[in-house]
Amino acid sequence: MQVQHVPDNKLVKLYLSGQEEALGELVNRHKDRIYTYIFMFVRDTYLAEDLLQETFIKVIDKLRTGKYKEQNKFLPWISRVAYNLCVDYYRREKRLPKVMTRDGFDIFSVLKFSDASAEDRMIEDQTVMRVRNLINQLPDEQKEVLILRHYSDMSFKEISEVTGVSINTALGRMRYALINLRKLMAEKNITI
Amino acid sequence: MTKNITQDNLIRYIYQETSQEESSLIEEALATDYELKELYESLLESKSELDKVRISPPQDVVDKIMEYSSKTAPHEHAL
């Protein structure tokens, strides 16, 4: 069966009926976006690879146990799985929280994470480095919303649910993030 | 800036979260409101810069995911 043009939810059904190639298509379709999103959070390629693998393994387990019930929202659903794994990872690392989210964890400790060894393992691509460095200069709360909305494809409503802020707050943070990004680009003479 | 179009509406429009009706109102406003149009273009420039980033994981990560799926497949699934 040609799976390239089959919608996500149909692929999920095909996979659960035993067609492995349906999972292959789902992974190929979403891997780059989820990997980019995780990388923007953790800023370490090795860690991003591990978390991507862990995300899809969790997705497979959840699909098989009937825990995916969201029609037409497969990508935001995987994004939430990835987000929770990023948060869990840093919780396990026992990084001390400063600003608590709804469930008591400080996502900013994730966003601030970076050390010398991680720097060495960063992607060499100049565009990726430039954009990552621009994002890195934003205030933490703006950075979080920007990564979630732009790279994970979560809606502002979904962002408000996972981060525990109102939709208007999320929208305001996104607006300031884009405005500040534009200012930073102007300062560095970056043209589109 | 056009009274009924807030900057937050513009953000929702840029990320395609507005209804058809809201989108039409915003498009009308963008055609006549210079200040709003300027902000819109500035926000789009930032978004375009973000759009340039798309990275791919190594193939072995994908292979490991597929391997996990086939190794842990339910019995009838594996047949």
Interface list for chain B against chain A, based on CB atoms closer than 8 Å: 7-8, 10-12, 15, 17, 42-43, 45-50, 52-58, 61-62, 64-66, 68-70, 72-74, 76-77, 79
Measured CA to CA in angstroms, residue B53 lies from A129, A132, A150 at distances of 9, 9, 11
**What pLDDT score does A44 carry?**
86
In a domain, B77, yes or no: no
For residue A178, give the nearest of B46, B66, B73 by CB distance: B46
pLDDT digits (tens, 9 = 90+) for A72-130: 788 889 999 999 998 888 787 765 444 445 555 555 555 544 443 454 445 557 888 88
In a domain, B39, yes or no: yes
In a domain, B78, yes or no: no
In a domain, B43, yes or no: yes
In a domain, B2, yes or no: no
In a domain, B14, yes or no: yes
pLDDT digits (tens, 9 = 90+) for B3-53: 567 889 999 999 999 999 999 999 999 999 999 999 999 999 999 999 988
Q: How far is A62 from chain B (nearest CA, A)?
A: 12
In a domain, B79, yes or no: no
**Residue pointed to by tokens 């039409």:** B24
Higher pLDDT, A189 or A163: A163
**What pLDDT score does A91 carry?**
80
**Phi and psi dihedrals of A2, rounded to 5?**
-75, 120
Quote the number of domains for chain B: 1
In a domain, B60, yes or no: yes
* Alpha carbon distance A147, A133 (integer Å): 13
Give residue B23's domain range. Answer: 7-72
Q: Radius of gyration (Cα) for chain B, nearest Å?
A: 22
Within 8 A by CB and 6+ apart from A185, the residues are A134, A191, B45, B46, B49
**What pLDDT score does A14 carry?**
93
